[in-house]
Amino acid sequence: MNTHPKKLLVLIGEYALEKFLIRDAKRFGAHGYTIADVRGGGSHGTREADWEGSRSIRMEVICDPEVASAISEHVLRNYCANYSVSMYVTDVAVLRPEKF
Amino acid sequence: MNTHPKKLLVLIGEYALEKFLIRDAKRFGAHGYTIADVRGGGSHGTREADWEGSRSIRMEVICDPEVASAISEHVLRNYCANYSVSMYVTDVAVLRPEKF
Amino acid sequence: MNTHPKKLLVLIGEYALEKFLIRDAKRFGAHGYTIADVRGGGSHGTREADWEGSRSIRMEVICDPEVASAISEHVLRNYCANYSVSMYVTDVAVLRPEKF
Amino acid sequence: MRLDPVILFFLLGFAARFWDSDLKLPEALYETLSIYLLLAIGLKGGVELAKHPMGTVLPQAAAAMAMGACLPLLAYPALRHLGRLNGFDAASIAGHYGSVSVVTFAVGVSFLVKREVAFEEYMPLFVALMEVPGIVVGILLARMTGSAAAPAVLARPAIQWGALAHEIFLGKSVVLLGGGLAIGWFAGPSGLEPMSPLFFGLFKGVLALFLLEMGLVAAARIGDFRRAGPFLIGFGVITPVLFGAIGVLVGRATGLSVGGATLLGVLAASASYIAAPAAMRIAIPEANPTLSIVTALGVTFPFNLTLGIPLYHEIARRLIFP
Amino acid sequence: MRLDPVILFFLLGFAARFWDSDLKLPEALYETLSIYLLLAIGLKGGVELAKHPMGTVLPQAAAAMAMGACLPLLAYPALRHLGRLNGFDAASIAGHYGSVSVVTFAVGVSFLVKREVAFEEYMPLFVALMEVPGIVVGILLARMTGSAAAPAVLARPAIQWGALAHEIFLGKSVVLLGGGLAIGWFAGPSGLEPMSPLFFGLFKGVLALFLLEMGLVAAARIGDFRRAGPFLIGFGVITPVLFGAIGVLVGRATGLSVGGATLLGVLAASASYIAAPAAMRIAIPEANPTLSIVTALGVTFPFNLTLGIPLYHEIARRLIFP
Amino acid sequence: MRLDPVILFFLLGFAARFWDSDLKLPEALYETLSIYLLLAIGLKGGVELAKHPMGTVLPQAAAAMAMGACLPLLAYPALRHLGRLNGFDAASIAGHYGSVSVVTFAVGVSFLVKREVAFEEYMPLFVALMEVPGIVVGILLARMTGSAAAPAVLARPAIQWGALAHEIFLGKSVVLLGGGLAIGWFAGPSGLEPMSPLFFGLFKGVLALFLLEMGLVAAARIGDFRRAGPFLIGFGVITPVLFGAIGVLVGRATGLSVGGATLLGVLAASASYIAAPAAMRIAIPEANPTLSIVTALGVTFPFNLTLGIPLYHEIARRLIFP
Ligand SMILES: Nc1ncnc2c1ncn2[C@@H]1O[C@H](COP(=O)(O)O)[C@@H](O)[C@H]1O
Ligand SMILES: Nc1ncnc2c1ncn2[C@@H]1O[C@H](COP(=O)(O)O)[C@@H](O)[C@H]1O
Ligand SMILES: Nc1ncnc2c1ncn2[C@@H]1O[C@H](COP(=O)(O)O)[C@@H](O)[C@H]1O
Ligand code: NA
Ligand code: NA
Ligand code: NA
C-alpha cells in the first residue's frame, strides 16, 4: 500500500460556528471536511445537545501540515476566546495525496 | 499499560455504500467496525444529509496493517471511481490485541 | 505552530455505560469528553441502534498519558467482562496543553 | 378470526426485515413513539382514575403489584433448574417476565375495544404499578443467588440500593407513565380535552407505527434464536400462558370485570422490553442481554399479540361467567 | 388560479434556502415524513382496492405497468443522441422518468379533491405498481448499451439479477407502499378506522411539511444547474408534458374517468426521487447522480406541482369529454 | 386556581430532570416540535389577519414593534449599573428581553381560551414582528458601549450590517413565523382547512410535549444559577412584571381588547430563547450565553407560565374595564 502522510485536524465546538469553520477551512486551503453531531463537556460546562443552544459538532479536516496550522491558528485567534472549541492534530496516511 | 500497535482505518463515504463496506471489511478480516452518520464536503460537492441521497457515513475499523491495506485497496479499486469516498489510516494502540 | 503532545483515548461501547464512563473519566483526571452516537459490530454481535438496547456511543477524551492509562485500565477491569466495549489510544498534538 | 390491523403492521415490519429490506425507522422516531405511548397511556389512566373511588382501586392495585413481585419467583427456579441457566441470566429473565410490556397492554385494549368488551378504564394504573416490582425482585434474586453461582470478575460490594432505586424509579418509562397518570388525574377529562387529538386521537395509529418498528427489531434478532436454544423458546411460550391464567385469576379474585381480568392476564403474561432491559443492564451486568431480549421480544411478544390475548380473554370469559 | 396551499410550503422552503436561511429540518423528520406518506398512500389505496372488482382493475394496472416500462425507452434515445449524454447517465435518467414521484401524485390528488373532480380511489395501487418497471428498464439499458460506451474501470461481470431484484423490490418505498396496500386491503375501511386520524386526518398537513423540506432540498441543488446544462433543463420540462399526455391517453384507453386519467398522466409525467436514486446509485454507479436529481427534483418536480398538474387535467378534460 | 395542564408538563419535565431521571427527548424531536409551533402560530395568525382591515392592524403592529425596540433600552442600564454586568452581557440580556418567547405566547393564548376571554385573533402577527427589533437594539447596544468596556481580544472591525441582517431575518424562527403568516394570509381559512387537523388540531398537545422538553432543559440549567447570581434572578422576576405592565398599557393605548392587551403584556414580559440566543451567539460572541439563558429560561419563563400570565391578565382587566 503506497501511502502518503497528511495531517488530520479535528475541531470540536459549538454548532453556531459550523458555517464559519467550513468557510475558514476552505479559505485556508482544505479540500474537504466531515462533520458529526456530538455532545460533550469541558471547561465551559456540559453541552448535552438537548436544546439548540447546546448542540456541538466535531469537524475533521484531512490536509497538509501548513493548512492545518493555518486553520488552527486562525480558530485559536478568532474563536477560542469566546466560544467552546477544542482542537487537536494527528498524523494520518492517505492513499490519494492529490485529493486532500 | 501494556498496549499493542494496530491500525485504524477510517472510511468516509455515501450512505449507499454502508452495507457493502461492512461486508467487505469482514471479508478482508476485520473483527468489527463502528459507523457514525456525518455530513461533509469534498471534490464531489457538499453532502448535507438533508435528504436520503446526500447522507454520508464515517466508518472506523481497528485492525492489523495487512487488513487495513486489503480493505483500502479494495475500496480504492471498486468504489472510488464512482462514489464519494475518503480514506485514511492512522496508528493506534489497543489493550487487547486479540480482539481486533 | 507550537503544539504539545497528548493522548486521545477513544472508547466505543453500549449507551447504557455513558453516564458511568463520563463519571469515571472525570474521576481519573480528564478535563473534558466528546460523545457521538454510533452503530457497529464486533464480538458481541451487531448493534444497529434500531432500538434503545442496541444504541452505542463513541467517546473521545484528550488527556495526559497517565490519565488515558488510568481510565482505560479502569474500564478494562470493570466493564469489559460484561459489556461491549472497544478502546484505543492514539497520539495527538494540541495547541493549548493546559486545557486538556 | 380476523387479526387486529395493528398486528399486521408488526408482521409487515417482521417480513420486511426478515427478507432483508432496507426499511429502517430513524432512531429518533422510535424514541418519540415510545415516549408518546407511555405518556398517552399514563394520561388516559389518570383521567379515568379520577372517576373511581380509591376504595375499589387500592386493593386491586395492591394485588397487581404483589402478583408482579411474585411472578419472577415462579420463573426463576424453572430457568435455573430446568433451563440450566446461570443465576444471573435466570434472575434477569425472571425480572423481565415479572415486569410488563406497555405495547402488549395497548394491543390488548384494542382487542377488547374492537369486541366491545368493557373493562375498568383505570387499568393503565396497573401498567405503571407493575413495571417495577418484578424488576426489583429479579435484581434481588441475582444478588442473593447469582453471586455464588457465576464467575463474577468483580468482588461485588454491598448492593447500592439508593442508586438502584434511582435507576428504576426514575427510568424513562416509570417517569412517563407515572407523570402521565398524575397529570391526567390532576387535570381531569376537561383539562386534557384540548390535547386529546394528539394524545388520544392518534393513539391507535402511533401504536401501529410502533409495532411496525417492533417487527423490524424482532426480526433482526432471529439470528440470536440459536443462542437462546429450544428451552428458552419453549419458556417464551409456556410462561405467558401460565402467567396469563394467574393474572386472570387474580383479576377475578379482586373483583375485576371480564375485560379487566383479561387485561390483568395480559399484563402478567407480558414481558418488559423497555424498562427491564435498561435496568437489568446496569443492575445485573453479568446477565447476557441477548437471552432476555430474544425470549421477551422474539417469542413472547409475538405470541401474546396473536394467540395470547384472545386466549386470556377466553379464560376470563369462562372463569368469570362460566 | 389560486395555488394549492401545499405548494406554498414548497415555495417557502425554496425561498428560505435560496436566500440562505439557516432553516433545516432534522434528517429524522425527513425520513419520518417520507415513511408516513408512503404508508398512508398505500393504506388508502388498499382500502379502496377492496371495494372494486379485480376484473376492472387488473387490465388498467397492467397497462400502467407496461407504460412505466416503455417510457424510459422513449427518454433514452433523446438523452443519448440529442443530449449527447453517455450511456450510463442516459439510462439512469430514463429510469428516473419511467418511475414515479409519490409526492407529485399526492399533490395531484389534492388538486382534484379541491376541484371536486372524482377519480378512481384505487389509483395509489398504480403508484406502487409503476415504481419499479421504469427503474428495471433503466438498469437494463445501462447494462446493454452503457458498458460499451463509457470508460468503465471495472470489468463488469454478468448482471446479478437476484441481488438487483432484492435491491429494488425490498427498497423502503416499495415495501411501504406495497405493505400499506396489503394492510389496507386486508383490514378494510372499518379495520383502519381507529387509525384514520393519524394516517388520513393528518395527511395533507404532513404533505405540506414534506413539501417544505423538498423546497429546501431543491433550492440547495440550484448550484448544480450549471453542471446539468440547458439540455437537461429543457428535458425536465418537455418530458413531463409528453409523458403526461401519454399517461392521459393510456388512462382514457383503459377506461379511467377524467380524474383517473389525470392522475395517470401525473404519474407518467413525474420522475422518481425516492426509489430510483437509491436503486440507481447501486445498480448504475457510473451514472452521475447529480444530473438525475437536478433534472427530476430541480426542474420536473416544481414544474409538475405548478403548471404540469393543471395541464394534464386540462388534457384529460378535453380528451375524454371533448 | 387550577394550573393549565400544559404547565403540568413543564413541571413533569423539570421534576424528572431535577431528580436526575434518564428521560430525554431526542434532539430531532425538540427541533420538530419547535418548527411545528412556529409554523402553526404563523399560519393561525395569517388566517386571522386576512379577516381584519389593515387600517386597524397597522398602527397596533407599529406600536408593538416600537415597544420591542424600546424595552432593551430600559433593561440595559439596569443590568449595567445595578447588576454591574459588562457591556456585552448587559446588551445581550437586554436583547433577549426585548424579543419574545413564542411558547409563552402560546400558553397565554391557552390561558385566555380556557377562561373564554376574547382577543384579537391576529395577535400571532405581533409575535413575528416583535421577534427582531429587540434583538437588533441589543446588538446595537453591544456595539456602541460594549466595545469600550470589555476586554475584547479582537480589534473589532466595523459592523457588517448585511451579514447581521441576514443572520436575524433569515433565522429559522423568523422564516417560519413569517412564512406561516404569509401562507395563512394567502391561503385563507378554506385553503388551510385540509391541513387543520395537523396544524391546529394537534397544537395544544404539541405545546404540552414542548413544555415537557423545556422543563427538562430548564432544570438542567439549575447548576448555572450560582453563576448567574442573585441580581439576575431578581431581574428575571421583576423585569417581566414591569414589561408586562408596559405591554398591557401599550395594548390599551392602541385599542386592543382585554384579551389582546393581556397577550401584548405577555409578549413584552417574555424573553426569547429560540431566536435571540442564536443571533446573539454570532453577533455578540463576547457575551456569556449562560447568563441570558439561565435568566430567560430558568427564571422568567417559569415565572410567566405560572404567575405572570394571570397577573398581566388581571392588570389588563383592571386597566381597561376598571
Ligand atoms: N479533554 C477533552 N477531550 C475530549 N473532548 C473535549 C475535551 N475538552 C473539551 N472537549 C470538547 O470540546 C467542547 C468544548 O470544550 P470547552 O471549551 O473546554 O468547554 C466540549 O463540549 C467537548 O465536546
Ligand atoms: N479533506 C477532507 N477532510 C475531511 N473529510 C473529507 C475531505 N475530503 C472529503 N472528505 C469527506 O469525504 C466525502 C467524500 O469526499 P469527495 O469524494 O471528495 O466528495 C465528503 O463528503 C467528506 O465528508
Ligand atoms: N475492530 C473494530 N473496529 C472498530 N470498531 C469496533 C471493532 N470491534 C468492535 N468495535 C466497536 O465496539 C463495539 C463493541 O465491540 P464488541 O464488544 O467486540 O462487540 C462494537 O459494537 C463496535 O461499535
Ligand atoms: Na409480566
Ligand atoms: Na414517470
Ligand atoms: Na419581551
pLDDT digits (tens, 9 = 90+) for D108-125: 999 999 999 999 999 999
Phi-psi region of F221 (alpha: psi -120 to 50; beta: other; left: phi over 0): alpha
User: Residue B28 and residue F246: Cα distance in Å, rounded?
Assistant: 72
Asked if B34 has any chain C CB less than 8 Å from its own CB, the reply is yes
Contacts of E191 in chain D (CB under 8 A): 2, 4-5
Coil, strand or helix at F286: coil
Q: Which chains sit next to E, with 3 or more Cβ pairs under 8 A?
A: B, D, F
Instruction: Kindly state if the Cβ of C59 falls inside 6 Å of ligand 1.
Output: no
What single letter denotes the amino acid at residue E137? V
Residue F157: count of CB within 10 angstroms of its CB: 6
Pick from D5, D209, D214, D38: nearest CA to D113:
D5
| End-to-end CA gap in chain F | 22
Cα(F159)–Cα(D212) distance, integer angstroms: 54
Check if C30 has its Cβ closer than 6 Å to any atom of ligand 1: yes
Q: How confident is the model at residue D151 (pLDDT cuts 50, 70, 90)?
A: very low
Q: Judge: domain E5-320, CATH 1.20.1530.20.
A: yes
> What is the Cα–Cα distance from F185 to F109, expressed in whole angstroms?
20
- Which residue has better confidence, C42 or F275? C42
**Chain A nearest-CA residue for F276:** A53
Measured CA distances, B99 to B33, B63, D238, D301, F87 (Å)? 12, 9, 39, 35, 56
Partner-chain contact C62 A89, CB within 8 Å: no
8 A C-beta contact, residue F37 and residue F207: yes
Say if the Cβ atoms of A58 and C35 lie within 8 Å: no
User: How many Cα atoms sit within 13 Å of F98 on the Cβ side?
Assistant: 30
**Helical (H) or strand (E) element with C99:** none
Average pLDDT over all residues of chain D: 91
pLDDT band per the 50, 70, 90 thresholds, residue F148: very low
Does residue C32's CB lie within 6 angstroms of at least one atom of ligand 1? yes
Residue F18: count other Cβ atoms within 10 Å of its Cβ.
15
**Residue C85: strand pairing partners:** C13
Pairwise CA distance, residues B62 & B49, whole Å:
26
Contact partners, residue D319, CB within 8 Å, separation at least 6:
D248, D249, D252, D261
Determine B/A contact with 3+ CB pairs under 8 A as the test.
yes
Touch criterion met for F and E (3+ Cβ pairs within 8 Å):
yes
Distance CA D85, CA D108 (A): 31
Task: Grade residue D153 by pLDDT with cuts at 50, 70 and 90.
Answer: very low
Which residue's C-alpha cell is 394550573? F3
D3 and D10 Cβ atoms separated by less than 8 Å: no
b (16+ CB within 10 A) / e for C66-96: ebbbbbbeebeebbbebbbbbbbbbbbbbbe
- Model confidence at F153, in pLDDT bands (50, 70, 90)? very low
For β-strands C56-63 and A56-63, DSSP reports them as unpaired
Is A89 close to C92, i.e. CB distance below 8 A?
yes
Lowest mean pLDDT among D14-18, F99-103, F155-159: F155-159
DSSP reduced 3-state for E112: helix
Pairing mode of beta strands A45-47, C45-47: unpaired
- D151: CB partners within 8 A, 6+ apart: none
Select from F202, F206, F213, F216 the residue whose CB has the most chain D CBs within 10 Å, as the one to mutate to test that interface.
F202
Q: Which of E313, E306, E253, E296 is nearest to E99 (CA)?
A: E296
Q: What's residue D154's pLDDT?
A: 42
What does the alpha-carbon distance between residue E275 and residue D143 come to, in Å, rounded to a whole number? 52
The whole-number pLDDT of residue E164 equals 78
Average pLDDT taken over every residue of chain B: 94
Map out the domains of chain E as residue ranges: 5-320
Residue F122, pLDDT score: 94
The answer to whether the Cβ–Cβ distance between A42 and C31 falls below 8 Å is yes
| Cα E168 from Cα E135, distance rounded (Å) | 8
**Looking at ligand 3, which atom is closest to the CA of residue C47?**
21
DSSP letter assigned to residue A57: E
Residue E107 sits at φ, ψ, to 5 deg, of -70, -35
Q: How many Å apart are CA E4 and CA E208, to the nearest integer?
A: 10
Q: What is the mean pLDDT of residues D233-244?
A: 97
**Least confident among C1-5, F67-71, F217-221, F258-262:** C1-5
C-alpha angle E49/E51/E57, rounded to 5°? 50
Rounded to whole angstroms, the maximal C-alpha distance in chain F is 57
Mean pLDDT of D59-79: 96
A53 to chain F: which residues are within 8 Å by CB?
273, 277-278, 281, 289, 293
Q: What is the DSSP-derived secondary structure letter of residue F2?
A: P
Residue F147's pLDDT is what?
A: 52
CB E97, CB E133: distance < 8 Å: no
pLDDT of residue A52: 82
Instruction: List the single residue in D with minimal CA-CA distance to F114.
Output: D191
Q: What are the tens digits of pLDDT across the range B11-27?
A: 999 999 999 999 999 99
> Domains in chain A, start-ordered, CATH in brackets?
4-99 (3.30.70.120)
**The length of chain B, given as a count of residues:** 100
Check if the beta carbon of residue F208 is closer than 8 Å to that of residue F13: no
CA atoms within 13 A on the CB side of E167: 21
Residue D64 burial (CB count, 10 A): 26
In this model, does residue D146 exceed pLDDT 70? Answer: no
Per-residue pLDDT band for D144 (boundaries 50, 70, 90) equals confident
Q: Which three cell numbers stand for residue C44?
A: 458481541
Q: Pull the grid cell for residue F5.
A: 395542564
Contact yes or no for F174/F35 (Cβ under 8 A): no
Nearest CA to ligand 1 atom 8: C32
**Which residues form the pocket of ligand 3, taking CB atoms under 6 Å from any ligand atom?**
B 30-34, 60-63, 100; C 12, 40-44, 47, 56, 84-86
Counted residue by residue, chain C has a size of 100
F32 in contact with E at a CB cutoff of 8 Å? yes
Q: E32 in contact with B at a CB cutoff of 8 Å?
A: no
Taking the centre of ligand 1 as the mean of its atom positions, its distance from the CA of residue C5, in whole angstroms, is: 17
Amino acid at E283: A
Going from the C-alpha of F154 to that of each of A85, D273, F138, F197, the distances in angstroms are 17, 55, 20, 52
Helix, strand, coil share of chain A (percent; to 5): 35, 40, 25
Any F CB within 8 A of D183 CB:
yes
pLDDT of residue A61: 98
DSSP E strands, chain B: 4-14, 33-42, 45-47, 56-63, 85-94
F212, F13 contact by CB (below 8 A) = yes
- From the CA atom positions of chain C, what is the Rg in Å? 14
Cα–Cα distance for residue pair F107/F99, rounded to 1 Å: 17
- CA separation for the pair C81, C75 (Å, rounded): 10
Hey, is E2 helix, strand or coil?
coil
Confidence band for D247, pLDDT divided at 50, 70 and 90 = very high
**Ligand 5: distance of its center to the CA of E127 in Å?**
10
Nearest-Cα residue of chain B relative to residue E172: B52
CA of E281 to the centre of ligand 1 (A): 38
Dmax of chain E from CA atoms? 57
**Three-class secondary structure of residue A33 per DSSP:** strand
What's the grid cell of residue F206?
Answer: 404539541
pLDDT in tens, E203-244: 999 999 999 999 999 999 888 888 888 999 999 999 999 999
Contact by Cβ (8 Å): E183, D209: no
The CA distance from F183 to E13, in Å, is 12
Q: What is the DSSP letter of E200?
A: I
Q: Residue C51 — very low, low, confident or very high, per pLDDT cuts 50/70/90? A: confident
CA atoms of D126 and D48, how far apart (whole Å): 12
**Residues near D67 by beta carbon (within 8 Å), at least 6 away in sequence:** D130, D246, D247, D250, D264, D268
Q: Which residue has the cell 377519480?
A: E119
User: Helix or strand or coil: residue A84?
Assistant: coil
pLDDT at position E148 is: 47
pLDDT band at D320 (very low <50, low <70, confident <90, very high): confident
* Residue A90: closest CA among A53, A70, A60: A60
Q: Which residue has the cell 453532502?
A: B47
A40 lines ligand 1 (CB under 6 A): yes
pLDDT of F150 reads: 40
DSSP-derived letter for residue E285 is T
pLDDT at E322: 64
Distances from the Cα of E136 to the Cαs of B41, E66, E129, in angstroms? 31, 12, 12
Q: What is the dihedral of CA D126, D127, D132, D137, to 10 degrees?
A: 70
- Count of CB atoms situated within 10 Å of the CB of D116: 7
Q: What's residue E154's pLDDT?
A: 42
Q: Cβ F30–A52 below 8 Å, yes or no? A: yes
Low-confidence ranges of chain E (pLDDT < 70): 1-2, 146-159, 321-322
F258-268 pLDDT, tens digit each: 999 999 999 99
What mean pLDDT is predicted for residues D84-92?
Answer: 94
CB pairs below 8 Å between B and E: how many? 45
- Flag whether residue E314 sits within 8 Å of chain D, measured between CB atoms: no
Residue B10's SS3 state is strand
